[in-house]
């Protein structure tokens, strides 16, 4: 019978990169955002999906407003501008705190 090798240890959460919902939320705590801004800030290409996850899985609420953008050929494209509602700020901060790096002892 073949001897099984032990499983590779899993990295601790603090040493991993934060998920994109947390990166997005860090920005959304201080500003509103559209897809193009998210792409430029941190490479997000599906902001609408990230916002949906924050709403449905974490109960956060966002104001949504249509935002016109003139593209390079002169036409207008519309993006949704997302703004975290004031009533969701404490819940958003609690979620961010779960992903905060541990304090380093001096």
Provide the pLDDT for residue 75. 96
Exposure class string for 73-99: b at 16+ Cβ within 10 A, else e: eeeeeebebbebeeebeeebeebeeeb
Provide the pLDDT for residue 68. 96
C-alpha span between 1 and 19 (Å, rounded): 41
- Claim: this prediction has a pTM higher than 0.75: yes
CATH of the domain at 87: 1.10.10.10
Is residue 42 one of the residues assigned to a domain?
Answer: yes
- Please report, in tens digits, the pLDDT of each residue of the chain (106 residues total): 667 676 665 555 555 788 999 999 999 999 999 999 999 999 999 999 999 999 999 999 999 999 999 999 999 999 999 999 999 999 999 999 998 876 655 5
Domain that holds residue 55: 17-98
Partners of 33 in beta bridges: 82
> In total, how many domains does the chain have?
1
Greatest alpha-carbon span in the chain:
69
């Amino acid at each position: 019978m073949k001897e099984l090798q032990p499983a590779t240890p899993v990295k601790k959460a603090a040493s991993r990169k934060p998920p994109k919902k947390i990166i997005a939320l860090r920005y959304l705590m201080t500003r509103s955002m559209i897809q193009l801004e998210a792409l430029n800030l941190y490479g997000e290409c599906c902001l609408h999906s990230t916002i949906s996850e924050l709403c449905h899985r974490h109960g956060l609420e966002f104001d949504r407003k249509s935002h016109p953008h003139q593209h390079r050929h002169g036409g207008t494209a519309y993006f949704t501008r997302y703004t975290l509602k004031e009533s969701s700020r404490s819940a958003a901060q609690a979620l961010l705190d779960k992903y905060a790096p541990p304090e380093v002892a001096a």
